[in-house]
């Protein structure tokens, strides 16, 4: 008999596979807070408050103590203490849990994963508040990107892996004709076998959105998963792990298929754990140096890493200058540039750009963009809902030290949050730099730091953007032009450099946004990431196929 969770979610999974193949807009998880009930936001807030100053309950093996020291970027400590477990105990428990999970087969695993996601969805508001006070995101982003959009990305991984696994039959009859003799007949069985225990090393800015794809890609293919949150953003993933464990238990499986591994910034454990022979899969989001270390060192594992880079925009001309400025300034303000998709470098020729209102000079563009940002942030109450807070003091320090990197077009200013006066709120820093100053603008500077870089021509802008993307990596590349030749050149460049291209965004879509089931996030083709969320390569090597064959009498 089919597992009830597969029965429940079978249609959803089929729809998700269809969505992956058509890549139009599709999402099963509502992105409007209203859809979650009248008091949902308030209830989510209460649930979050209940976690504070308390012990987070998680019935995991190998507890050696308790820890956790998250501090809200809005200026208060969370005081949540999590069980600290021995990595070896979690690995051993994960290994012990895998055989039954493997034997359950792709359908049951996909059904249970879809149920976990449905329960994540029901907890979206609670997770949203946990995301706000660990990442610094403002409410709407924390809710949408941390809730339904992250769930989209999780379901996308489930559907993609399910499709791959289902392309292998459970069994087959092989019958080879032998001329006049009776045919050779064999029965063959095929089993999807997991690679081993997986480790998800999550980031501090988008713990769920960047964490769920690896978690679900590994889990649905039969692997046990250890989730290692960034020490400053544990709670959103702790809630997720607790829900996953409860769901697995109710589904009749060992909850140790998903476990939480907590450490602190002072005593990090990821390097030790990542090198353990039984860790066979690692999903990582974070800084390039650690990502490179993982790729170089954790050779016993397959490493999927998203390391970010230097995202570029080429500005040549536009048929909607006001829309361009609105779109760009919002893009730069959104979560204070703390997205791996935020553009850092805007290339503009020294003669400026053509607009329907006539040419706009280079310096005029800089002033216009600064003014447009200014309009966004002049009302602090509205601004904080877009900017959010600066996640880490390291990012704040980087921002404070960045003014010397170029000529300041618009300085970064501190804003006071109406509710939390201690919150780290800063407006974006906009700098101007000559193209020759690549040491300034061509290094990744994570946070609200952007450069308008002066080139001679658009052709130079595109060439320099290509070099930047190839050498430093990029997740996004954006171009503004009314000239078809320029757009074609940009498209060719994006194919050569292996980066997603956005063209003439002047409306309600922003280059930092990536839509589940439609946009591939990163490509794997440039140094920003060695894998894409979420393509076939992201799931196919997480499992093996083992077969047996015997004659049919």
Q: Which residues bind a copy of itself (CB under 8 A)?
A: 20-25, 102, 163-164, 167-169, 172-178, 184, 186, 188, 190-191, 193, 195, 296, 299, 491, 494-495, 498-509, 515, 518-520, 523-525, 532, 535-537, 540-541, 544-551
Comparing CB distances to a copy of itself, the nearer of 161 and 396 is 161
Residue with tokens 């077969």: 547
Pairing between β-strand 279-285 and β-strand 343-349 as defined by DSSP bridges: unpaired
Structure tokens at 173: 């009859």
List of residues 6+ apart from 412 with CB closer than 8 A = 399, 400, 402, 403, 426, 427, 428, 429, 448
Name which of 253 and 480 has its Cβ closer to a copy of itself: 480
Rounded to a whole number of angstroms, the minimum distance from the CB of residue 524 to a copy of itself is: 5
State the nearest-atom distance from the C-beta of 361 to a copy of itself, in Å: 27
CA distances from 89 to 61, 64, 230 (A): 6, 10, 20
Contact by Cβ (8 Å): 259, 82: no
SS3 category, 519: coil
Please, what is the minimum distance in Å from the beta carbon of residue 305 to a copy of itself?
14
Give min distance, CB of 23 to a copy of itself, in A.
4
Q: Which residue has the tokens 């980087």?
A: 398
Nearest distance, CB of residue 541 and a copy of itself, angstroms: 4
Residues 525 and 499 sit within 8 Å (Cβ to Cβ): yes
Q: Which among 124, 316, 311 is positioned nearest to 212, based on CA atoms?
A: 124
- Tell the smallest beta-carbon distance from residue 366 to a copy of itself (Å): 25
As a whole number of angstroms, the distance between CA 25 and CA 178 comes to: 52
* Identity of the residue, 265 or 509, whose beta carbon is nearer to a copy of itself in the bound complex: 509
CB of 466 to a copy of itself, least distance (A): 13
Name the residue nearer to a copy of itself (CB basis): 269 or 515. 515
Q: How far is the CB of 20 from a copy of itself (least distance, A)?
A: 7
Q: Which is nearest to 509 in space by CA: 330, 377, 388, 375?
A: 330
- 71 or 275: CB nearest a copy of itself: 275
Asked if residues 262 and 231 have their Cβ atoms less than 8 Å apart, the reply is yes
For the chain, the first-to-last Cα distance in angstroms comes to 28
Task: Count Cα neighbours of 536 within 13 Å in the Cβ-side half-sphere.
Answer: 6
Query: Going by C-beta distance under 8 Å and a sequence separation of 6 or more, which residues neighbour residue 202?
Result: 210, 211, 227, 228, 229, 230, 233, 237, 285
Contacts of 515 (CB under 8 A, 6+ apart): 25, 152
Bridge partners (DSSP) listed for residue 317:
354
Q: Cβ closer to a copy of itself: 274 or 390?
A: 274
Q: Do 233 and 70 contact (CB within 8 A), yes or no? A: yes
Residue number with CB closer to a copy of itself (223 or 392):
223
Nearer to a copy of itself, 416 or 546 (CB): 546
Q: Shortest Cβ distance from residue 31 to a copy of itself (Å)?
A: 9
Between 175 and 443, whose beta carbon lies closer to a copy of itself? 175
Residue 504 CB, nearest approach to a copy of itself (Å): 6
In the bound state with a copy of itself, the residue whose beta carbon lies nearer, of 20 and 235, is 20
């Amino acid at each position: 008999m089919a597992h009830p969770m597969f029965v429940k979610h079978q249609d959803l999974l089929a729809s998700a596979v269809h969505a992956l193949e058509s890549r139009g807009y599709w999402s099963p998880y509502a992105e409007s807070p209203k859809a979650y009930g009248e008091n949902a936001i308030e209830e989510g807030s209460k649930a979050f408050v209940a976690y504070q100053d308390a012990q987070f309950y998680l019935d995991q093996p190998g507890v050696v103590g308790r820890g956790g020291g998250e501090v809200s970027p809005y200026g208060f400590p969370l005081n949540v203490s999590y069980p600290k477990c021995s990595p070896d105990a979690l690995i051993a428990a994960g290994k012990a849990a895998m055989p039954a999970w493997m034997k359950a087969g792709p359908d049951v695993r996909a059904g249970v994963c879809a149920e976990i996601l449905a329960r994540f969805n029901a907890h979206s508001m609670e997770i949203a508040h946990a995301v706000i006070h660990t990442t610094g995101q403002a409410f709407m982003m924390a809710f949408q990107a941390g809730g339904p959009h992250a769930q989209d990305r999780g379901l996308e991984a489930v559907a993609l892996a399910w499709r791959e696994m289902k392309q292998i039959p459970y069994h087959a009859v092989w019958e080879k004709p032998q001329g006049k003799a009776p045919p050779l007949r064999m029965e063959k069985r095929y089993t999807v076998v997991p690679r081993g225990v997986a480790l998800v090393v999550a980031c501090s800015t988008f713990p769920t959105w960047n964490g769920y794809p690896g978690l679900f890609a590994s889990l649905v293919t039969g692997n046990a998963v250890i989730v290692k949150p960034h020490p400053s953003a544990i709670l959103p993933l702790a809630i997720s792990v607790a829900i996953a464990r409860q769901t697995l238990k109710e589904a009749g499986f060992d909850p140790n298929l998903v476990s939480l591994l907590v450490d602190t910034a002072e005593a990090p454990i990821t390097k030790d754990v990542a090198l353990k022979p039984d860790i066979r899969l690692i999903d990582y989001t974070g800084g390039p140096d650690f990502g490179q270390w993982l790729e170089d060192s954790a050779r016993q594992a397959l490493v999927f890493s998203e390391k970010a880079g230097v995202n570029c925009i080429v500005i040549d001309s536009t048929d909607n200058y006001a829309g361009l400025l609105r779109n760009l300034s919002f893009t730069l303000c959104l979560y204070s540039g703390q997205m791996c998709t935020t553009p850092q470098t805007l290339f503009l020729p020294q003669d400026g750009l053509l607009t329907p209102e006539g040419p706009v000079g280079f310096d005029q563009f800089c002033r216009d963009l600064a003014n447009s940002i200014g309009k966004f942030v002049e009302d602090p109450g509205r601004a904080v809902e877009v900017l959010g807070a600066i996640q880490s003091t390291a990012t704040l320090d980087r921002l404070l030290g960045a003014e010397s990197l170029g000529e300041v077009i618009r300085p970064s200013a501190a804003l006071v949050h109406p509710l939390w006066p201690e919150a780290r709120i800063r407006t974006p820093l906009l700098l101007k730099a000559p193209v020759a100053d690549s040491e300034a603008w061509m290094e990744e500077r994570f946070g609200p730091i952007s450069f308008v870089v002066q080139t001679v021509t658009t052709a130079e802008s595109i060439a320099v953007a290509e070099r930047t993307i190839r050498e430093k990596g990029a997740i996004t590349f954006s171009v503004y032009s009314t000239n078809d030749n320029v757009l074609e050149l940009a498209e060719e460049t994006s194919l050569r450099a292996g980066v997603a291209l956005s063209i003439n965004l002047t409306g309600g879509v922003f280059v930092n946004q990536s839509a589940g089931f439609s946009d591939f996030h990163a490509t794997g083709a440039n140094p920003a990431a060695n894998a894409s969320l979420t393509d076939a390569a992201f799931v196919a090597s997480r499992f093996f196929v083992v077969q047996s064959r015997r004659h049919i009498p």
